[in-house]
Amino acid sequence: MRSLVALLILAAVSTLALAQAPPPAAPAGQKTLAATVGLYVFPSKGQTPEKQSQEESECYNWAVQNTGTDPFQLGKQAEQQQAQTEQAKQQAANAGAGAGAKGAVKGAAAGALIGEVGSGNASKGAAYGAAAGAIAGRRKKEKAQDQAMAQAEQQGQAAQQATQQQLDGFKKAFSVCLESKNYMVKF
């Protein structure tokens, strides 16, 4: 008899524990539509996950239509902009290639002319002129590279800022729609 009572008590406690257990969480790795764009959404009125998913989809489409921005397309666009910036930086690194040699040739020509006129020794003047021209050419090359790098960097940053502004506008529109459907939204 005691065994039967103990068994019944154990069964009742187990049933009570299962009834109070929290519902199983969503499978790990699955994100809601809002979470993929960086929004945290909480159902204020006890909406089910299915209802939340449906309403997020509706609000996503509404925000795309009203802002003209699709975050998934913006992601692709940002990757392309970054690749273009890197390509521009590589081109900037190559800017002014051969400037030292060109400077040497120009300097040699000028030095030869000056050496011939001044001292009657064109070859000595050409050598001095070539050295001076090579140095000036290298300096010109470095300046051109620095300017091209700075310009590429500025253009890349401006493109990133514009993309971020578009994404922020989309998030605001998406949030407003979800809040109108009784969700608490933060980003």
Domain of residue 76 covers 33-186
Overall number of domains in the chain: 1
Cα gap 146→41, rounded to integer Å? 46
> 56, 34 in Cβ contact below 8 A?
yes
Predicted local confidence at residue 130, as pLDDT: 63
Q: Is residue 19 part of a domain?
A: no
- 111 occurs within a structural domain: yes
Q: Are 127 and 111 in contact (CB under 8 A)?
A: yes
Identify whether the C-beta of residue 132 lies closer than 8 Å to the C-beta of residue 109: no
Count of CA atoms in the C-beta half-sphere (13 A) of 187: 18
Domain annotation covers residue 153:
yes
Q: Looking at residue 59, what is its pLDDT? A: 96
- Residue 125 domain flag: yes
Indicate whether 79 belongs to any domain. Answer: yes
17 within some domain = no
| Inter-axis angle of helices 99-118 and 122-180, nearest 10 | 150
Mean pLDDT, consecutive 10-residue stretches, the chain (187 aa), reads 46 41 46 92 94 96 96 87 82 67 59 56 63 72 79 84 93 96 94
Q: Is residue 20, in this structure, part of any structural domain at all?
A: no
Q: Is 3 contained in some domain?
A: no
How far, in whole angstroms, is CA 154 from its chain's centroid? 14
pTM of the model: 0.59
Assess contact for 186 and 40: CB atoms under 8 A: yes
Return the pLDDT at 104. 57
Q: Quick one: pLDDT at residue 126? A: 60
* pLDDT (0 to 100) of residue 7: 41
